[in-house]
A = this chain, B = another copy of it.
Amino acid sequence: MEFKYFKKIKDYNYGDLIAETEYWLILLAPDQRNLGTCVVALKRLEGDLAELKEEEWLEFSKIVKKLEYALKCAFNSTMFNWGCLMNSSYLKDLPDPHVHWHMIPRYKERVEFAGLIFEDPCFGSSTMKAKGGIRKVAEDVRIKVIKEIKDNLEI
């Protein structure tokens, strides 16, 4: 069970670990079109949000509060989109979803960080797709982003 869970987390490639709580992993997402985009993934095998336990919901609620605060301090994010989708898993013949949340910081103004410019041209819209595909950033930038978030995250 433990092995299957770790394999799944690895296969899904949610990103680089920022912090860990009892029930959740907080990771920096591979797509950094919106600076500081995170994934919050459940630390056990479960594919249905409806099956979360009370203690997992309550801990998630604390992560929402602390992660929003950290992102505001770190990058002056204007507001946040939270979504639990799990769509892509259902393209497989045998869907194998895993409960995880996307946390997408949105920015009214552009942000400069580590010598790069991050914009949010679709601010105010539910889409972030104006610029096409995902935006990966170099490892040294990811390390700086993670440090900045961790320095403001009380977990």
Interface residue ranges, A against B (CB under 8 Å):
48-52, 54, 57-58, 60-61, 64-65, 68-69, 78-88, 90-91, 95, 97, 106, 108, 123-127, 129
What's the minimum C-beta distance from A102 to chain B, rounded to whole angstroms? 9
Does A126 contact B87, Cβ atoms closer than 8 Å? yes
Does A106 contact B90, Cβ atoms closer than 8 Å? yes
Cβ contact of A50, chosen from B64, B90, B91, cutoff 8 A: B64
Cβ contact of A87, chosen from B48, B50, B124, cutoff 8 A: B124
What's the minimum C-beta distance from A37 to chain B, rounded to whole angstroms? 13
> In the assembly, how many copies of this chain are there?
2
Please name all residues of chain B whose beta carbon is closer than 8 Å to the beta carbon of A48 when the two chains form the complex. 68
Majority-rule SS of A interface residues:
mixed
Report the nearest B residue to A69, measured CB to CB: B50
What's the minimum C-beta distance from A94 to chain B, rounded to whole angstroms? 13
Does B85 contact A123, Cβ atoms closer than 8 Å? no
- How many Å lie between the Cα of A50 and that of B84 in the bound state? 16
- How many Å lie between the Cα of A87 and that of B105 in the bound state? 11
Assuming the contacts A61-B54, A65-B50, A68-B50, asked whether A81 and B84 have C-beta atoms less than 8 A apart, the reply is yes
Does B50 contact A57, Cβ atoms closer than 8 Å? no
Please name all residues of chain B whose beta carbon is closer than 8 Å to the beta carbon of A125 when the two chains form the complex. 87-88
What's the minimum C-beta distance from A108 to chain B, rounded to whole angstroms? 7
- How many Å lie between the Cα of A82 and that of B54 in the bound state? 18
Please name all residues of chain B whose beta carbon is closer than 8 Å to the beta carbon of A84 when the two chains form the complex. 81-83
- How many Å lie between the Cα of A54 and that of B65 in the bound state? 12
